[in-house]
Structure 1
Amino acid sequence: MPQNHRIARIEAYAYRCPVETPVDTSFGRMSDRPAVFVRLEDEDGCFGWGEVFANWPAAGAEHRVNLIERDLAQLVLGQTVEDPADFFGHLSTATRIRALQSGEWGPFRQTIAGIDTALWDMKARAADLSLRKLLNPEAADRLPAYASGIHIGSAPSGLARAREDGFKAFKVKVGFNLEHDAQAVRSMAGTLDKGETLYTDANQAFNATQAMAFLSLLNDAPIGWLEEPIAADAPSAHWKDVAASTHIPLAGGENFAGKTAFADAIQAGHLKFIQPDIAKWGGISGCFAVARAAKTADLTYCPHFLGGGIGLSASTELLAAVGGDGLLEVDVNPNPLRQAFAPSGIDRSTGTWAATSKPGLGCDELPPELARYKTHQIGVHL
């Protein structure tokens, strides 16, 4: 029987972890690793965790925590939730004018995504099930995964470390220098062992003409996909031209928001890999619906994620629930905000990642070793 949860408390925590080597993308540099974790508790003491996207802008983490305290808490506390998907729709509607008034569509969508994930975690805990088993009793316990976040400039050493850890698939960041990056990708593709795959991510670096030129330099290379070759909001005709110019599949979706945007992308068919980010839009509710729609259209759902440990667990559980041939993205750059939750989930012999054996997302409390990285926290209750 479905269980209702009357929300009595909401907490949010911002963290920033310094890193020795910044994470470079084609559009900017991450000089530290931020994360925002949100915790909901009902009046019976049942709780759930979620994660809110905080990578950009650079000062965004603390802002998201304040947004939860000053805007979202008043819409969440005292509410009785039976179906998180219904409540996701309610929060999206209730914050629409606030987001329009402030022009802050992203922050509202991201905080709602984290709240939604926390509600699903709570629901799974109440049922004493992992989230994937709540969504799909036949969900697998291990998933194929790929090593992500590898800069093309350090790809040889990055691939070597990821390979040593047990990964058999790798994604390199490109979009810094078209010809140099293409040459480096071709070189790396030539070093792959049997059963390994190389993927590329331009992070929206190119216009359509540049993207087609880049792809033409890779056309005979064994590349699994090119992710976000052009801007997510580029005209559909540009995506069509890029897709038609190559046999290399295109991937994208982390910068789409809303069911209509994903439905349009799925119908257009220019993307073969659909990649919503559970912490940027949709949480479990929105991304589960998108994943099922992609699978129905014979496209592949591969969750995008490059954050902390709670979001990685949520992405793992959702991908397992959906099934299919999707790959789990695992950032391999040093980040205690991820590693403290999942020090090593990769199996060296199979290249697969382990889902949690605990209820919900598997996180009971934040690892105490993260306390030194905390920059802000709030707690609001009835």
Structure 2
Amino acid sequence: MAFSVRTIQAFCYRYPLSTPVVTSFGRMLNRPAVFVRAEDEDGVVGWGEVWSNFPSTGAEHRARLVNEVLAPALIGRELDGPAQAFETLTQGTSVLALQCGEPGPFAQAIAGIDLALWDLHARRHRQPLWRLLGGRSGKIKAYASGINPGGARQTAEAAMRRGHRALKLKIGFDVAADLANLAALRAGVGDGMLAADVNQGWSIDQALEIVPRLGEFGLRWLEEPLRADRPRQEWQRLRTSAGMPLAAGENIASCEGFEQVLAEDVLDVVQPDIAKWGGLTICRGLADDILKAGKTFCPHYLGGGIGLLASAHLLAGAGGDGWLEVDVNDNPLRDQFCGPVFDVSEGLVALNEEPGLGIAPDFSSIERYRTL
């Protein structure tokens, strides 16, 4: 079902935080979001989101990439579907991205447009996006993510009161504090799923020293214990001695990179981020490849509500036994626009049967946070 693009526009917002979101490599003093609106010649509208967490000045830049560089290449163009737009933008800007040294921001901006066009595409077909992507059920598992080292137990308890039954803690700080937090969360979640995220914070020597001390917590996975660009031999060495599943994927940004990790016995959990690289055009097939390789597909996500909802639709579309990552830190740019993902019950999310993403976002309530 071909369509012609009438408009594409990105909107940028920043929500100030009273408590920063911290990782082993830095902290977020506000929560940015770059939402993308696409409309076709029939007035059908779709929504997407661009990954924009870092650097602190990056969200406005990515919004301008959408509005001033990428959108003009699609306006008035007749498309067979979102994949054609993805290929047009990726190939058409490949030299420009190389010239300015910004393949990441270009890939992220293209991914946000791709998500919007997939939403639009599903609405034109009058199907929920998860069903158009091949799903049989709109019910998926979720886990509470973004649990900071400070106040970890309280944050986890609040998440469980809201319906979560699986948790992921940020570690890679003070080892004693990390161990104490893991003990508290394991006690709180009982036999439920518990994972830990190092955010690329350790060297191989640090990892080999610390990981054996994590064995008692029964982690479902240990995420990014090493930098994503470290030699594969280091990852393989850690895998051999870790005694627990390893996870990564949010910082892999090529088909070749994913082919490598799917061909080797290192990662048990693979976590592409659809708003950061590949959109649904690439990551839908990638999800199938992950499952065929015998690994767990868990989409990575830490941003606003539209990208989170799209990630939920991808997980439901692909199937498998993975979990949806749901950040539990304060963020109205997430909570007001993630639709049914806001309502976690007994660790589950139930997507609806409305066409596309199933929401019609009204941004009037967040206008005061708009920066572009």
- TM normalised by structure 2 equals 0.96
In structure 1, the residue matched to 2:119 is 121
Task: Report the CA distance between 1:247 and its aligned residue.
Answer: 1.7
Residue matched to 1:10 = 8
2:183 to 183, 186, 200: 186
Shift of 1:355: 1.5
Matched, 1:170 2:160: no
Residue of structure 2 in register with 1:259 after alignment = 255
User: Contact 2:165/2:189 (CA < 8 Å) preserved in 1?
Assistant: no
| Letter aligned with residue 18 of structure 1 | P
2:97 matches 1:99: yes
Secondary structure, aligned partner of 1:272:
strand
1:108 matched residue in structure 2: 106
Q: Distance in 2 between matches of 1:79 and 1:346?
A: 36
Letter in 2 for 1:249: P
Count of residues paired in the alignment: 372
Query: Quick one: distance in 2 between partners of 1:180 and 1:11?
Result: 44
**Structure 1 counterpart of 2:365:** 369
Alignment partner, residue 355 of structure 2: 359
Paired residue for 2:154?
Answer: 157
Measured at CA, do residues 39 and 106 of structure 1 come closer, stay the same or move farther in structure 2, by a change above 3 Å? Answer: same
Pairing 1:212-223 to 2, within 5 Å after superposition = 212-223=208-219
Alignment of 1:176-325 (within 5 A): 176-194=173-191, 196-325=192-321
How far did residue 303 of structure 1 move?
0.3
Tell me if the contact between 2:149 and 2:177 (Cα under 8 Å) persists in the aligned partners: no
| Residue 68 of structure 1, aligned match among 49, 66, 69 | 66
Amino acid at match of 2:42: D
Instruction: Supply the distance in 2 between the matched residues of 1:155 and 1:226 (Cα, whole angstroms).
Output: 17
Q: Report the alpha carbon displacement of residue 346 of structure 1 after superposing the two structures with TM.
A: 6.0
Tell me how far 1:262 sits from its aligned partner. Answer: 0.8
CA contact (8 A) 1:179 1:214 kept: no
Alignment of 1:142-153 (within 5 A): 142-153=139-150
Residue identity matched to 2:254: G
Aligned position for 1:80: 78
| Contact 1:40/1:48 (<8 A) preserved | yes
Q: Secondary structure at the match of 1:325?
A: coil
1:379 alignment partner in structure 2: none
On the 8 A contact 2:199/2:224 being kept in 1, the answer is yes
- C-alpha contact 2:140 2:349 (8 A) present in aligned 1: yes
* Deviations 1:181-233 (CA, angstroms, capped at 9, x unpaired): 13432343244324x12110000000111112221111232111110111111
- Structure 1 residue 370: deviation in Å? 1.2
User: Which of 29, 32, 35 matches 1:34?
Assistant: 32
What displacement does 1:153 show? 2.7
For 1:182, give the aligned amino acid.
L
Secondary structure at 2:5's aligned position in 1? strand
Would the alpha carbon gap of residues 348 and 66 (structure 1) be closer, same or farther in structure 2, given more than 3 Å must change? closer
CA distance in 1, matches of 2:264, 2:344: 38
Runs of 4+ in structure 1 deviating by more than 6 angstroms, as ranges, are: none
Q: Structure 1 residue 75: deviation in Å? A: 1.6
Other structure's SS at 1:11 match: strand
Distance in 1 of aligned mates of 2:109 and 2:248: 22
Residues 103/340 of structure 1: CA separation in 2 closer, same or farther (3 Å cut)? same
Equivalent residue letter for 1:319: L
Distance 2:146 2:283 in 1: 22
How many Å separate the matches in 1 of 2:207 and 2:150? 19
Alpha-carbon distance between aligned partners in 1 of 2:35 and 2:28, rounded to the nearest angstrom: 19
5+ residue gaps in structure 2?
A: none
Which SS does the other structure have where 1:255 is aligned? coil
Cα contact 2:309–2:339 (8 A) shared by 1: no
Distance 1:33 1:244 in 2: 37
Query: Once the two structures are superposed, what CA deviation does each residue of 1:28-82 show, in whole Å capped at 9, x if it has no partner?
Result: 1100000000111112212211100010010111111111122112222122211
Work out whether residues 339 and 359 of structure 2, in 8 Å CA contact, stay in contact via their aligned partners in 1: no
SS at match of 1:161: helix
Q: Sequence identity of aligned pairs in percent?
A: 45
